[in-house]
Each structure stands twice: as C-alpha cells, then as structure tokens.
Chains A and B, each alone.
Chain A
Amino acid sequence: MSDLFIARGERLAARKVAGEMVILSADDSSLFVLNAVGASIWEAADGGTPLETIVDDIICRQYEIDRDTALRDTIEFVKALEAQGVMRTSNGAMVEGGDASSSGEEVR
C-alpha cells in the first residue's frame, strides 16, 4: 500500500494543448511537456486525492495496464517531476496550492 499524495508544483503556468500538458516554470523558464497519460496525472494531482486512487480511477480505467505496473510507473513519474519542481509529493494529504487555472485549459 502506498499513502502517497501528489500536488502540482508552484510558480508554474500550464495549458493543455491537443491532449498534451505544456508547463512553464516562472522560476527558470524551463518548459515541460507531458503526454496524455502525464496530463491526466497532472490534472488529478490536487493534493487531496491519494495517488493509488488516481492510478485506479484514471490510469487503470483509461489505459490497458496492470495495477502494480501502473502504480510503480506513476510513482517513478511523479518523483521525476518532483525533482524538477513540477510536482510535489507527500505521505499525507496536502492543501491544494496552485490556483484553479493551473490544472490547464484545453486548446485544440
């Protein structure tokens, strides 16, 4: 069991573009682009939903992947984003830090 919670990083701008999430850091102007799976995780990272729930409800439901692999890959993914300052993780629920727009707005 994992009791990991994830939240979007701070001082970031994000927009969803054709299914991908484009994220710009206001600190060092780095640009990150998350694919559709990454975008789903990013959108669900509200600080209050356990990562396991996100994996069950979003990853496993949308993609054909077994739960253990999905959970392992997702943890690896969010840890990599955390190292870049794009995501925050915690072993307890976090109060959502970003503003409403940080979850991204779709552009086609």
Chain B
Amino acid sequence: MVSSVVVSIGDVPVSLTTTDASLVALIERRFGRFLVTSARPAFHFDITVVAAGVLDADADLRVTATTDRWSLQRGDFSVQLDTSARRGWIRQTLNPYSIDSILRIVHTLILSTEGGFLLHASSAIRNGRAFLFTGPSGAGKTTLVGLAPGDVTVLTDEISYIRRTDRGYVAFGTPFAGDREESGEAVSAPVASLFRLEQTPENLQERLGAASAVRALMRNILFFTLDPALSTRLLDAACDFAAVVPAFRLGFTPDARVWKTIA
C-alpha cells in the first residue's frame, strides 16, 4: 500500500511517499512534531527501500547541484531531485538516519537560494524572540538549552533553521537532534541575537563585531557542496545576517544562571 507523509520544517512541507510501512513508521516516530496534513508540499519524494548491499555501503557523501538537478549519494542512500518539477526519487536502506540526512541536505540547498541557512547551533524562544547559540562540538550548545528555564521553548539542540523573510530573520524549530536525541518544537520566532558559545569560569557576555560574527557563522553554517556561486551566496547570507542581527560572545559555566542574561 502506498503511504504519504508530509514533513514540514521551516514552513517548507516535503512529501515522502513509499510503499514500505516500516519506513513510514520510522519517519512518523522521528519527525512526529513536524508532520502536517493540510499543507501543500513544496517538494515530493518517492522512496524505494532497498536491501543493504544494493548501494555502495562504503561510499562517502557526494552532493552535486546544478540549476535544475540535484544528486545526493552516500553509502545508505541515493537521491535524484528535479528542482523545476520539485520532485525527487530516493533509494535508501531501511533506517531512520538516511531521511534525516537527506532532509538536512535538501533544506540546505533550498535555503541557499533565499539567503537563509542551517547552522550548527542550538536555539530557543523566550518572550517571543529566538536566540541562537553556536559553536563547535563541546562548546555547550546542548548543555545550554538543557539548562533552559520553563518559560523557554527549545527549537533545537543541534541544527538551527534560519530563513530570511519580509519581517527579518526567523528561526524555526527542527527535528534534527544532537546528543539529547530529542526533537525541537515545530514553532518559530524572529531572531533576536546570536551567541558564540565558550565555557568560561564566570558567565560573561560581550558584543562581537560584524567580522567576528561572520567568522562564527561561516565556521558553523552547514553546506555539503561548494562551487563559486554557492560560496558567494553563503558568504552573502552570513554577512547580511551579521549586518542586522546582534552577535555576542557568551562565556558560561554550566549552570542555569546563564539564562538570567538571555531574554
């Protein structure tokens, strides 16, 4: 029996159709908060589940993107996407991780055309505004949102979703989880500020200059392929963001007092 589910991340609904009931169950479990029924999908994917061994299991990720065709290949999946038809075909083994990776890559490519990006950052909403916390692994992204008080809504502990809209930059929740293996909430809010995390003996907050903010962004924006046109768009996206969103260095000791200064 053919089943379709629609996963909407960043207000971009993506329809996933397959005959494999086990895969549908995996998708529903992993993306539960992001499943929608009424939205008109922006992209359609047909998924065929293949046995391990059909694909080259050792293959590293390879992404090629031209104007009208994207191709994603990895040991556990193979994807072709016709961007003008907004239709794609996925061959993958039965596991919950392939579609997670495929959606990250697809959204990265979608966002790169409109000045947005996925960022290695946790993010959360407080008082109707979104705060982003970026840094390398171990900087405290997951720890910080784990310490958030009850009035804070966690958008993600791992991968933040940033869109540029008519009303400025907006952060959306994502199901892309880090160490906590916990999906964010499917809500959004205008971005108030960006914090570059580091662990320090005392809590501190210092304004970062635009160049430092761009550096922090460029080190943490996700991209899976790079050509001169895409690198220009990415750098533009980071610079445009840094020009309007205030950025801070946030040093913190891992306890909840750090949230006193984030509001």
Residues of A within 8 A of B (CB): 11-15, 17-20, 22, 24-27, 29, 31, 33, 101, 105, 107-108
Contacts and interface: CB of A to CB of B under 8 A. Distances in A.
B231 A107 contact: no
B231 A25 contact: yes
Q: Which of A17, A20, A101 has the most CB of B within 10 A?
A: A17
Given A24-B235, A33-B215, A13 B243 contact: no
Interface string B210-253: 11001100110001001110111011100110110000000000
A100 to B, nearest CB: 12
Contacts of B223: 29
B146 interface: no
28 contacts: A11-B228, A13-B228, A13-B234, A14-B235, A15-B214, A15-B235, A15-B236, A17-B239, A22-B211, A22-B215, A22-B235, A22-B239, A24-B231, A24-B234, A24-B235, A25-B231, A26-B226, A26-B227, A26-B228, A27-B226, A31-B215, A31-B218, A33-B211, A101-B232, A107-B239, A107-B243, A108-B210, A108-B243
Contacts of B136: none
Interface of B: 209-211, 214-215, 218-219, 223, 226-228, 230-232, 234-236, 239-240, 242-243
